[in-house]
Chain A
Amino acid sequence: MTVATADTPAGHEGHHEHVHYTSTGLENRKIAIWALIGSECMLFASLISTYLIYKGRSKVGPFPHEWSCKTSNVVGKTAELVAGCAPADVLKPILDIPVTSQSTFVLLMSSLAMVLALAAVENKGHPLPAGAGWWDRCLASSKFWLMATAVMGVAFIGYQSYEFTSFVHEGLTIKTNLFGSSFFTLTGFHGAHVTVGVLWLMSLLWIDRTRGLGPKDELVVDICALYWHFVDVVWIVIFTLVYLIS
């Protein structure tokens, strides 16, 4: 059934799909996802601001970038400053930059895979150029890129689970100090968004495997891609403001 009438673009009248165009001529669902992304900007701006406000105001360790001593409450940028502390009471800087750099790289690459999945859906049905190699065949496979995006999303969640677990083992929980509260809330919310994105990607992959995704499904994949890229850009900001700036 075609719902749109006067506002239906030329060439779309006979389609048996629920296509809802607005008076702007734009698709409802695409406007809705951009509005959602706009509201999510507000959510993450608040969470990031909260983290920055509480940064450096924790009374007890562990701290993100500083060494500290549990007994004397001495805090320093280098291990030498807590040299007089009993080894069992020394708290290391808690953020693990090498591990987080890897997870950041994985999430950036998942954005590449997502955009290639969308391109593959848009171009489905187009014949491959003469003499197409493995890369051209690879670019044309939406299933491969959707699967790659979902796998990288799962890997990112795995990195985050490892990070959270190691923090808890080192004595930082959501209740330990202001840093713990704001850090776990911010990165936990982001991780929840990645999880939703992975579930969304898996549902698209399931549709692709059962009936196949084609150019008519471009909008459905585009909406998921927009959400996924938004999750990526939020992480770009978090990685710099939380992990790298001390």
Chain B
Amino acid sequence: MSDDAKHATETHHPTGNQYLKIAIILTVITAIEVWAYYIPALVASPLFNPALIIMSALKFAIVVLYYMHIKFDHSLFRLLFTASLILAMCTGTALMFLFGVFKL
């Protein structure tokens, strides 16, 4: 393995206390999601679903970037994951168009 590749696999992971802070952020976002679910005025708003999806995507990204270390690891892992994720999302979207959930 070349030195470049070796350096690329070396990681600088967050510390225990930083992991704890990340967990607190995830908990707060989840609490906001659940709180919003019980406010009828918010549920009736057209922004409710997009806001929930954004918060969910934010939690997803935080876990993948910091807990799965994709932010610190080799770019090949990032490529493998993001390519699969994009393909999966495209497949899901195509299925929903095919079965009439979304319409053009």
- Which residues of chain B have C-beta atoms less than 8 A from A10's C-beta? 3, 6
Q: Assess A38 versus B30: contact at CB under 8 Å? Given A9-B6, A26-B74, A30-B77.
A: no
**6 smallest beta-carbon distances between A and B, as pairs:** A38-B84, A25-B5, A25-B1, A45-B88, A240-B56, A49-B92
Q: Assess A46 versus B92: contact at CB under 8 Å? Given A34-B80, A236-B59.
A: yes
> Interface of chain A, helix or strand or loop or mixed?
helix
In the complex, the answer to whether A109 meets B23 with C-beta atoms within 8 Å is: yes
For residue A154, CB closer than 8 A to chain B, the reply is no
CA of A34 to CA of B67, assembled, Å:
14
For residue A60, CB closer than 8 A to chain B, the reply is no
- Which residues of chain A have C-beta atoms less than 8 A from B74's C-beta? 24, 26
Interface residues on A, range: 35 or more
Q: Which of A121-175 contact B (CB under 8 A)?
A: 122, 139
In the complex, the answer to whether B27 meets A108 with C-beta atoms within 8 Å is: yes
Q: Assess A37 versus B67: contact at CB under 8 Å? Given A25-B1, A101-B34.
A: no
In the complex, the answer to whether B101 meets A53 with C-beta atoms within 8 Å is: yes
Q: Which of B51-73 contact A (CB under 8 A)?
A: 52-53, 55-56, 59-60, 63-64, 67-68
In the complex, the answer to whether B55 meets A240 with C-beta atoms within 8 Å is: yes
Nearest CB of chain A from residue B29's CB, rounded to whole Å: 9
In the complex, the answer to whether B84 meets A108 with C-beta atoms within 8 Å is: no
Chain A residues close to B by CB (< 8 Å): 7-10, 21, 24-26, 30-31, 34-35, 37-39, 41-42, 44-46, 48-50, 52-53, 97, 101, 104-105, 108-109, 111-112, 114-116, 119, 122, 139, 225-226, 229-230, 232-233, 236-237, 239-241, 244-246
- Which residues of chain B have C-beta atoms less than 8 A from A46's C-beta? 88, 91-92, 95
Known: A225-B68, A236-B59, A245-B52. 13 other contacts (CB 8 A): A9-B5, A9-B6, A25-B1, A30-B77, A31-B80, A37-B81, A38-B81, A38-B83, A53-B96, A111-B63, A225-B67, A229-B67, A245-B49
- Which residues of chain B have C-beta atoms less than 8 A from A236's C-beta? 56, 59-60, 63
Instruction: Kindly report which residue of chain A lies nearest to residue B13, judged by CB atoms.
Output: A119
In the complex, the answer to whether A116 meets B19 with C-beta atoms within 8 Å is: yes
Contact of A111 among B1, B52, B67, B99 (CB under 8 A): B67
In the complex, the answer to whether B80 meets A45 with C-beta atoms within 8 Å is: no
Chain B residues close to A by CB (< 8 Å): 1-3, 5-6, 8-9, 13, 15-16, 19-20, 22-23, 26-27, 30, 33-34, 37, 43, 49, 52-53, 55-56, 59-60, 63-64, 67-68, 74, 76-77, 80-81, 83-85, 87-89, 91-92, 95-96, 99, 101
Instruction: Kindly report which residue of chain A lies nearest to residue B26, judged by CB atoms.
Output: A108
- Which residues of chain B have C-beta atoms less than 8 A from A232's C-beta? 63, 67
Instruction: Kindly report which residue of chain A lies nearest to residue B84, judged by CB atoms.
Output: A38
In the complex, the answer to whether B19 meets A112 with C-beta atoms within 8 Å is: yes
In the complex, the answer to whether B92 meets A45 with C-beta atoms within 8 Å is: yes
CA of A53 to CA of B56, assembled, Å:
20
